[in-house]
A and B are shown apart, each in its own frame.
Chain A
Amino acid sequence: MLESYVRKRLLEKGILLMTHLVVGYPSLDGCREMVRAMVEAGVDLVELQIPFSEPVADGPVILRANHGALKTGITVRTCLEFAGGLASQFPIPFLVMTYYNIPFRFGLDNFARVLSEKGLYGVIVPDLPPEEAEHHVSAMRKEGLGAVFILSPETSVSRMARITETASGFVYCVARRGVTGARTRFSPEIVSYLARCRKVSPLPIAVGFGLRERADLNFLRGKADIAVIGTETIRAMEREGADGVRAFMRGLV
């Protein structure tokens, strides 16, 4: 379902745009307004992060957004309800991004079932390597949801092959080492890394970490299928609210 959406959409556009927000930060209403602005600006997919107290793969901006959301007292059930509301209100696919303890504590089968009931398309779990993901993957598969896995410049080609076999929907290629937020310099090494990903992966490839502007998207055109703008979306919101997000997104696409 997720993969076919991406493939279909790619027939119309050179590269798709996926954005990221942390559910409950700054507030649920604030999130809804951001999503409205994104959809109006032509965003193709949105990652909804269910906040976690230990977001180890995230840099300072998203880390603080996680803690900010949790300070409002938001629960996982509220996040899922809210995500379901967005999915029925807006015509683009929504994915859940969260750390493994959230689905693990919720119950992996239960989590997949609720995601499916809420009309969500899949899930990204940055601290869950495929070796530990057997149950998670089977639960997602059973509900027809995308289980997105991550590739990195450190990942060997043989491992990339194993990961893309486990994954569904698309694979998420982090553009560099480190955590979210810091700027990525798009270099010849990235070109050869993405070529490696492309060659190995039968699935569409998304690229994220450190993308900030139109030039980054232009660079990725033809080398990747989805550009992910995470931290910079949240920064735009922090600067100028939903209008800032709208203007920023319009400048990108």
Chain B
Amino acid sequence: MNRKGYYGELGGMFVPEVLIRTFEELVAAFEEARDDPGFQQEYQEILSSYSCRPTPLTFARNLSEYLGGAAIYVKREDLGHTGAHKINNVMGQGLLAERMGKKRVIAETGAGQHGIATATMAARFGFQCTIYMGEVDVARQRPNVFWMEQLGAQVVSVRDGSRTLKDAMNEAFRDWATNMSDTHYVLGTASGPHPFPEMVTYFQSVIGREARAQILERAGRLPARVYACVGGGSNAMGIFSGFLHDPVELVGVEAGGKGLTSGLHASRLASGQGTVGVAQGYKTYFLQDQDGQMKGTHSIAAGLDYVGVSPILSHLRDRGRVRVEAAEDAEVLEAFSLVLRKEGLIPALESAHAFAGAFREIPEMSRQDLVIINQSGRGDKDIFTIAEALGDPGWRNFLREKAEADRA
């Protein structure tokens, strides 16, 4: 039996027969590109000249003093073009799609970050672009929809199922099963059928490689811990992969939503409620019922609101190499505000989960220790969501006045 694409018992490629050839071609194209120094060079060139690589590693002096434990460094993926780590993956897949002669790209998006990144890449490469987005997410991420459309992408609102990320992913697969000859599916996270978990991890591993070199240069030693939020797992896999062979504890932070006993969360691993299943083309831990039907998920951060999780990350958790915690919505908002006030950094709500998880533990750590927190994206773009979550009265007033002015 072919065990390629398996991580322990997780991973695999569970796709309809009509897509098998497409996946085989993609695996071959990816492996060929990975081993081609020309491709490497092109990829690095585009990340440094079009996006912002290397992204800085920022020492958070005020937060470190305030918490009184380990010294905190922040990896600044928020400074990449389009404001999140997503650009690393889409530029890599864009180059690959070009190599494969594709004319059109499609993608799923939850928060909209991956959708914007894909639409941006499509504009740059001259691809046609269709983005699938759950109706619930379209409603709560309108500004991102606006930008995707301005970038020339067609945004399709998915009205089936839970109308969130997983349903958008199903719809993208349906499109691909029809249009694979000219279309590449730019899957946004380290999940899905082989080769996506491996390929997305590969394109995101630049985060960890840089972070490791930067901390060694700045502090002369490795961090005790590295923190990253975990939705599908791409930013976590990206930064963790730089430290897998070091004596560094790797901590993933999932969306604890309104609490792990509330049924309103997206914690597949930390909650102990995820069970192994097969959906969306791969085998991993899913939040599902006894029969194997997928459950609804909740997070204040749309990008963490996903029912499955990277099979590579899950396997690392099972082996004890990665520890996974969950942070609840309220705790995340507190951490978010603290980061703004103390450091003037604006993390995305997704990334604020990593901060929240870290803040819980840092005061107990030695002042000699270092930690790195991956700020996977920036929050200022999500002003509507964040202002609402914080219940800001001035903002509410502004919206009301704006709406009234619009009506007049």
B170 within 8 A of A: yes
A238 within 8 A of B: no
Give the residue of B2, B17, B293, B294 whose beta carbon is less than 8 angstroms from that of A150: B17
A132 within 8 A of B: yes
Contact B174 A127 (CB under 8 A): no
Within 8 A of A (CB), among B197-249: none
Contact B16 A53 (CB under 8 A): no
B166 within 8 A of A: yes
Within 8 A of B (CB), among A151-165: 151-156, 159, 163
Contact A126 B16 (CB under 8 A): yes
Cα–Cα distance between A127 and B281 once the two chains are bound (Å): 7
Contact B1 A134 (CB under 8 A): yes
In the complex, which of the residues B22, B179, B291 has the most CB atoms of chain A within 10 Å of its own CB atom?
A: B291
Contact B178 A101 (CB under 8 A): no
- Write the chain B residue with the least CB distance to A163: B17
Within 8 A of A (CB), among B42-57: none
Give the residue of A54, A131, A174 whose beta carbon is less than 8 angstroms from that of B279: A54
In the complex, which of the residues B15, B19, B20, B22 has the most CB atoms of chain A within 10 Å of its own CB atom?
A: B20
A5 within 8 A of B: no
Contact B20 A155 (CB under 8 A): yes
Give the residue of A56, A132, A154, A156 whose beta carbon is less than 8 angstroms from that of B12: A132
Measured between beta carbons, the chain A residues less than 8 angstroms from B22 are 154
Measured between beta carbons, the chain A residues less than 8 angstroms from B1 are 131, 134
- Write the chain B residue with the least CB distance to A54: B279
What 1/0 flags go to B1-20 for Cβ under 8 Å of A? Answer: 11000000000111111111
Closest CB-CB distance, B38 to chain A, in whole Å?
A: 29
Within 8 A of B (CB), among A48-63: 52-57, 59-60, 63
Closest CB-CB distance, B389 to chain A, in whole Å?
A: 28
Contact A177 B178 (CB under 8 A): yes
The verdict on A127 contacting B18 (CB below 8 Å), with A101-B292, A134-B1 known, is: no
Contact A178 B278 (CB under 8 A): no
Contact B2 A131 (CB under 8 A): yes
Closest CB-CB distance, B275 to chain A, in whole Å?
A: 8
Contact A100 B14 (CB under 8 A): yes
Closest CB-CB distance, B64 to chain A, in whole Å?
A: 44
B173 within 8 A of A: yes
Contact B277 A174 (CB under 8 A): no
Contact B177 A54 (CB under 8 A): no
Measured between beta carbons, the chain A residues less than 8 angstroms from B166 are 54
A76 within 8 A of B: yes
Measured between beta carbons, the chain B residues less than 8 angstroms from A163 are 17
Give the residue of A55, A64, A151 whose beta carbon is less than 8 angstroms from that of B17: A151
Contact B13 A132 (CB under 8 A): yes
Give the residue of B13, B18, B20, B279 whose beta carbon is less than 8 angstroms from that of A101: B279
Contact A154 B293 (CB under 8 A): no
Contact A52 B15 (CB under 8 A): no
Give the residue of B17, B160, B161, B292 whose beta carbon is less than 8 angstroms from that of A129: B17
Closest CB-CB distance, A114 to chain B, in whole Å?
A: 13
Give the residue of B17, B173, B178, B292 whose beta carbon is less than 8 angstroms from that of A56: B173
Measured between beta carbons, the chain B residues less than 8 angstroms from A132 are 12-14
- Write the chain A residue with the least CB distance to B14: A127
B271 within 8 A of A: no
Give the residue of A57, A99, A129 whose beta carbon is less than 8 angstroms from that of B177: A57
Q: List 6 A-B contacts (CB under 8 A).
A: A53-B161, A105-B291, A152-B18, A154-B180, A177-B178, A178-B174
Q: Tell me the B residues contacting A by CB distance below 8 Å.
A: 1-2, 12-22, 160-161, 166, 170, 173-174, 177-180, 275, 277-281, 288, 290-294
Q: Tell me the A residues contacting B by CB distance below 8 Å.
A: 52-57, 59-60, 63-64, 67, 70, 75-76, 99-102, 104-106, 126-129, 131-132, 134, 149-156, 159, 163, 174, 177-179
Which 7 pairs between the two chains have the least Cβ-Cβ distance? A105-B292, A178-B178, A152-B18, A101-B292, A150-B17, A53-B293, A53-B294
